[in-house]
Structure 1
Amino acid sequence: MEIRPAIPEDFDQVVALSTLVRPYGVGARTWLRRSLTERLGTDRFVGFVAEADGRVAGWAGLTRADHLDTPNAYSLNLLVHPDFRRQGFGTRLLQICDDWLAALPSSFVQSYADGDGKFFALAKGFEATTEMTYAGRELTDAILVPPVPDGYTLVPFAELEAADVFPAYRESTADIPGGPPFEVPFDWFSTELWPGSLLDRELSLALLEGGRVASFTMVNREDTRTWNDMTGTVRDHRGKGLAGFLKLASLSAARDAGVTHSFTLMNLENPPIRALNERLGYREVFRRTYVTRQN
């Protein structure tokens, strides 16, 4: 076993590993390409690989999480090939990440643990907080979309600017139950999230009331798959069915645009959104646990 810093040439093998371990993930290829080209060697991202028999058997990446309301926050992505598990690869990869973080005065690490990864994380000092469900649905049959709710105007993100959507996004993320401590700065939203190459500005939709975004749904697309990344409604417009309408309208537009599968993440501590997604045809694919550790 050899643990070493990641290099851009690792891209193909790390993508193959990610696809094998998390086949339901949408956007991994795009995210990894950006991480291993634009961000490698900066304080925004650091990556390590574990090699065995001349191939990548494990991967760990730390991405700075500027959207969290805590200093030196990083998101950890740690993967080990099934053929090499329970041989110390995960432990060695986590240790080298911890060594890198040790140079900081303090740090906060968040991650999503799959299956037995939860017990690995707990043994390494992480705390488990929220259970998450990855859910998916096929887009085969035509989707009937009701009329736009009275008093609202439906627009795609292509007709909006980051500053138009940001207030609703910030208010919605602040109310996510059991999730990370969001305090989204506009700089991060406008430079990282909004211009992201995965964000589909035709499938991401908003409902306007009085010229302001009252409800929105953000959709990432990679090839023929989409990821419903975030859907939210500002507080004084909740309870009117706006989120359900937008998600349905977006699914219909995605199907018409050639998308075959849609995926989303459901917080099990948020029964309303879980019930909504189930009514929209989403079914559980996999469960993950949100884990954190303060160093």
Structure 2
Amino acid sequence: MTVIVRDFRPADAEGFARIRQLALPFMLCTAESFAYDVAHAHPDAHFRPLVAEEDGELIGTAQVGIAYDSPQPGQGYLNVYVHPERERRGAGSLLVRTAEEYLAAVGATKLFAFVTDTPANRAFAEKHGYRASRSAQFLRLDLAHATLPPRRPLPKDVELRTGADFADDPRPLFALDAETLADEPSDIAHEFTDYEAWLRETWHHPLLSHELTSVVVADGRPAAFSAARTDGGTRYGTVMTGTARAHRGRGLAKLAKNDSLHRARAAGYTEAFTGNDAGNGPMLAINKWFGYEICATEVHHVRELG
């Protein structure tokens, strides 16, 4: 039996998504959403998905590219996942080697990889020259049975809207998303400066639910929001919850997220997922308040290219 690594093909979308779901069940991924990611990747991202194949069967995947929206040049990433029942066949190492050679060729000087926090996975990363850095937590809420905080009367100066209310002009949400992203703790700094890229990669993404995304508006402008994604089944996730700097400390992020959670449950979603950098104390406290429980941890690993 021989393992080979090759470029992703459109026909691989189902298998690619399935491996991601098995290896990382806490993040929403569908064949449609991944095919969309590939088709709409920014050219400066040099995005190159790879698959490992054994006797015609997909057994591993890698998402490889450059963080083009970072002010720091040369920040590359490779996130490798192998089918849990097809490990120790050399697929992971071959994917890593192929990804590293490609990233070096397109100008990467530092490589980042998320690694699920298990002894075997961390040992694999260290064996390939990666050192542990920041950690992040995946959290789950049993939305079907959770006791959500009750809805409370809104402060006089704010109103609740949905993402769908901004369908004609989402630029105010772009500005809010950019401001909150800039303050997210991370090994790689990101800046949203390209509105058209944000429209393609975020606003029009097939998993994003405009209807379940909640927006708190104050003084006529979006002040806080909770962006929601769904998998088209029973799983719902919040991918960004944040507040404009001028409005922090008022509980508006809680207000937005609570509204989204209530409406997601009413729409029939039974599981809620989210993720937080381990250093993001305020957001971790909010999620604990809602009843989310940690279900897994990922550790960001980094390797400098000589």
> Scaled by the length of structure 2, what TM-score is found?
0.87
Taking the aligned partners of 1:196 and 1:225, their CA distance within structure 2 comes to 16
Retained in 1: the 8 A contact 2:66–2:108?
Answer: no
Q: Does residue 1:18 correspond to 2:20, yes or no?
A: yes
5+ long unaligned stretches in structure 2: none
Deviation at 1:64, TM superposition (A): 4.3
Aligned to 1:208: 217
Change (3 A) 1:109 1:30: farther
Secondary structure of the corresponding residue to residue 102 of structure 1: helix
1:173-216, Cα deviation, whole Å (9 max, x unpaired) = 11122442122223332332112111111111111111111111
Deviation at 1:250, TM superposition (A): 0.5
Taking the aligned partners of 2:91 and 2:222, their CA distance within structure 1 comes to 47
Change (3 A) 1:277 1:78: same
Q: Does residue 1:125 correspond to 2:132, yes or no?
A: no
Match of 1:229 among 239, 258, 262: 239
Deviation at 1:55, TM superposition (A): 1.2
Retained in 1: the 8 A contact 2:78–2:96?
Answer: no
**Match of 1:215, as an amino acid?**
A
Taking the aligned partners of 1:228 and 1:30, their CA distance within structure 2 comes to 19
Match of 1:163 among 158, 162, 171: 171
Secondary structure of the corresponding residue to residue 255 of structure 2: helix
Taking the aligned partners of 1:48 and 1:178, their CA distance within structure 2 comes to 25
Taking the aligned partners of 1:39 and 1:213, their CA distance within structure 2 comes to 27
Q: Does residue 1:152 correspond to 2:154, yes or no?
A: no
Match of 2:184 among 176, 182, 194: 176
Q: Does residue 1:287 correspond to 2:291, yes or no?
A: no
5+ long unaligned stretches in structure 1: none
Retained in 2: the 8 A contact 1:162–1:189?
Answer: no
Aligned to 2:255: 245
Match of 1:52 among 51, 54, 59: 54
| Aligned Cα root-mean-square deviation (Å) | 2.4
Change (3 A) 1:66 1:36: closer
Aligned to 2:139: 135
For 1:249-264, what aligned pairs fall within 5 Å after superposition? 249-264=259-274
Secondary structure of the corresponding residue to residue 253 of structure 2: helix
